[in-house]
Amino acid sequence: VSDSVGEVPARRGRPGHDRAAVLQRAIELFNRQGYDATSMGDLGRELGVTKSAIYHHVSSKEHLLAEALDQALDGLTAAVTEARDASAGTSAYARLRELVGHSVQVLVTHQSAVTLLLRVRGNSPVELAALERRRWIDDQIADLVAEAMAEGSLRDDLSPQLVSRLLFGMVNSLVEWYRSDGPVDATELSAAVCRLAFEGLERPLRSARPQES
């Protein structure tokens, strides 16, 4: 039928199912050939529907981009908010370490949406709004790093901004190579990133510091 989308058959009773599949295919197409270079006609061809049928599912290309970026940003914002608002008595160190691990999980779960987010350069109001949300997240992370330095659990010979950029530069770089069907699962990956970042690559000393509770 004319409104079926690729291999995902349109089901009149479940429009949400189609919608999520359309969004996912759009994100992958944007990542493959660039958002600006992708037309609604291209997306129609990708989905196996006519350009006019695509508007049955989607109001505009920019609306799809906004939804895709929100998918990535909502996950990261939730992780940051949780780290910021954790119950009193949890050290900033523990909350930062938890945030790094949680961010790796978000990134693996929404890898293609995060890939798209990381390529946004601010060419439209939707992209500018996404960059604004990224900046808010970056500021929250730098604040948490500064708090962990102030409580004495992180080295303070580097600036909080530099530390948060290097730390999340490492986290974000995962989108370039991570394969969820590869040898490393998301839980292992989270743990590996945290060990490298917090404990470092040098062989741990025998009499290590007491474990964080």
Of these, 87, 205, 211, 213, which contacts a copy of itself (CB under 8 A)?
205
Our finding on whether 26 is near a copy of itself (CB under 8 A) is no
Of these, 91, 124, 156, 186, which contacts a copy of itself (CB under 8 A)?
156
Contacts of 192 (CB under 8 A, 6+ apart): 184
Our finding on whether 181 is near a copy of itself (CB under 8 A) is no
Q: What is the DSSP letter of 196?
A: I
Our finding on whether 92 is near a copy of itself (CB under 8 A) is no
Contacts of 189 (CB under 8 A, 6+ apart): 104, 108, 174, 178
Our finding on whether 176 is near a copy of itself (CB under 8 A) is yes
8 A C-beta contact, residue 148 and residue 96: yes
Of these, 20, 78, 128, 184, which contacts a copy of itself (CB under 8 A)?
184
Torsion sign over Cα 161, 65, 116, 81? positive
Kindly determine how many residues on this chain lie close enough to bind a copy of itself according to the rule CB under 8 A: 42
Say how far residue 212 (Cα) sits from the centre of its chain.
Answer: 27
Closer residue to a copy of itself, CB minimum distance, 49 or 107: 107
What is the C-alpha to C-alpha distance for residues 9 and 2, in angstroms, rounded to an integer? 10
Q: What is the 3-state secondary structure of 69-101? A: HHHHHHHHHHHHHHHHCCCCCCCHHHHHHHHHH
8 A C-beta contact, residue 99 and residue 137: no
Min dist CB 9 to a copy of itself, Å, is 32
Our finding on whether 62 is near a copy of itself (CB under 8 A) is no
Our finding on whether 28 is near a copy of itself (CB under 8 A) is no
Min dist CB 191 to a copy of itself, Å, is 9
Closer residue to a copy of itself, CB minimum distance, 128 or 196: 196
Min dist CB 156 to a copy of itself, Å, is 8
8 A C-beta contact, residue 129 and residue 42: no
Interface positions with a copy of itself (CB under 8 A): 33-34, 36-37, 93, 118, 152-159, 162-163, 165-167, 169-170, 172-174, 176-177, 184, 189, 192-193, 195-205, 209
